[in-house]
Structure formats: C-alpha cells, structure tokens
Amino acid sequence: MILENKEKQNLFEFVHSKELNHFYYAIFDLDQTLYDYEECNKHGITSIVSAVNKKFGIDKEIILDTYLKSRETINTNLKNTSSMHSRFLYLKKMSEILSIKNPINNTIEFYNLYWEKFFEKMELFDWVESVFKKLKDQNIKIIIATDFNARIQFLKIRRLEIENYVHKIITSQEIGEEKPGTKFAETLLNSIKSDYNTLFYVGDNPKKDNFLSKYGVKTFII
C-alpha cells in the first residue's frame, strides 16, 4: 500500500494506535478523499464533448469551453448550495448556448452519459477498505459528510461498495449549505450526539475540510 503524503501516513498510524480506543465516530468526506473524483469527472466531461462533437459536428474545444463557462455560471448563481454542482444544469446551460437541437432529450442524454462514464471510472483508493474494516472491528461508526446531491452521493457509495461500512450519510443538499459553513458543521455535530473529542474527521481539501477543527474535532487533511 502506497501512502502518498505524511498526513495520510499519520491517519494510518492513528487508526492502528491505542489512541483510537477513545473515539466512537469517524467522519469522512467522499469526493477526492475516498476515490479519485478528478479523474472520474474528467472522464465524464471528455465523453460528453466527444458525444456532442459526433452528433452535431461542433468543434471539441468550443464544446469544452462552453461547458466550463456554463459550469462557472451555475456555480456563481447557486453558490454555497448543492445545486451549484448540478451536471444537469451545466448541460442544460451548455445546450442553450450551443443551440443544440431538441435540447430536452439531448440534455437528458448527455446527463445520463456523463454519470455512466463517471461511475465507470470510480475505484476506491487502496487504503480505504483496510481503514474502514479496522474502524468497523473497533465498533467505530463511519459517517460520510459531503457536499453535492444526496441521491448521487448514495449511488457513488454503492458503486464503491462501501455501503455496509457506512452508518450515516449527511449531504449539503439536505442541510441547505455547503462545507465549510457553520450550519453544515453544527447540523452534523448535533446529529451525532457525542463529545467532540470522541470524533475524528478525514478530508482532502484544506479550504473546506478543516471546518470541524474549531470545535475540537481531530482532523486529517490527506
């Protein structure tokens, strides 16, 4: 097993230490923490660009640029909500800008293709299952705390085949706010009902995933 950075090594050592005996809950981010989100997203976008190019003959660079601009518009207009991540809205906006014929059917087609190709590429990072198994053996409950649409995140967890390890999933869609917002943090912590020093959190993004450290929750940014 290759542990790419020091913080990941620290997590692995912590999980196999006596200190773990003092913890009851392990909270994990999902995207880019448990699998390579960036690679999956890239695969989905590339598939969309190729499909639009093949079907309508539009230059691939124009398609990609339009998709990225559409994403930026949706991100700005729906900032700090789960809808800012909606691939359906990105593709709807892209189809409008490119004047795609039959936009309703084609937007649905592109959306389904994106997720088909995204899920096709998903693979659990090699350290995750051994850590989850160790936590389960220690009777430590695993919680997934994630931005994004709840249904999509459920499907990702099932695709990664870790649903039997997961005690609870909390998403920004149901909270109405993205990480690192105070509402997200307090809703998450209030749902656990345990002393904060009995929890630890694992994420990948130093800008978003340090949001529980101010409450005294042990945090690993891997």
Kindly report the three-state secondary structure assignment for every residue of the chain.
CCCCCHHHHHHHHHHCCHHHHHCCEEEECCECCCECHHHHHHHHHHHHHHHHHHHHCCCHHHHHHHHHHHHHHHHHHCCCCHHHHCHHHHHHHHHHHCCCCCHHHHHHHHHHHHHHHHHHHCCECCCHHHHHHHHHHCCCEEEEEECCCHHHHHHHHHHCCCCCCEEEEEEHHHHCCCCCCHHHHHHHHHHHCCCHHHEEEEECCCCCCCCCHHHCCEEEEC
pLDDT in tens, 54-87: 999 999 999 999 999 999 999 999 998 999 999 9
According to the model, what pLDDT value does residue 126 have? 95
Per-residue pLDDT at 1: 47
pLDDT at 4: 61
Mean pLDDT per 10-residue section of the chain, whose length is 222 residues: 73 96 98 98 98 98 98 95 94 98 97 98 97 97 97 98 98 95 97 96 96 96 95
Looking at residue 73, what is its pLDDT? Answer: 97
pLDDT at 7: 87
Answering whether pTM is above 0.95, one says: no
pLDDT of residue 179: 96
Instruction: Say what the pLDDT of residue 181 is.
Output: 95
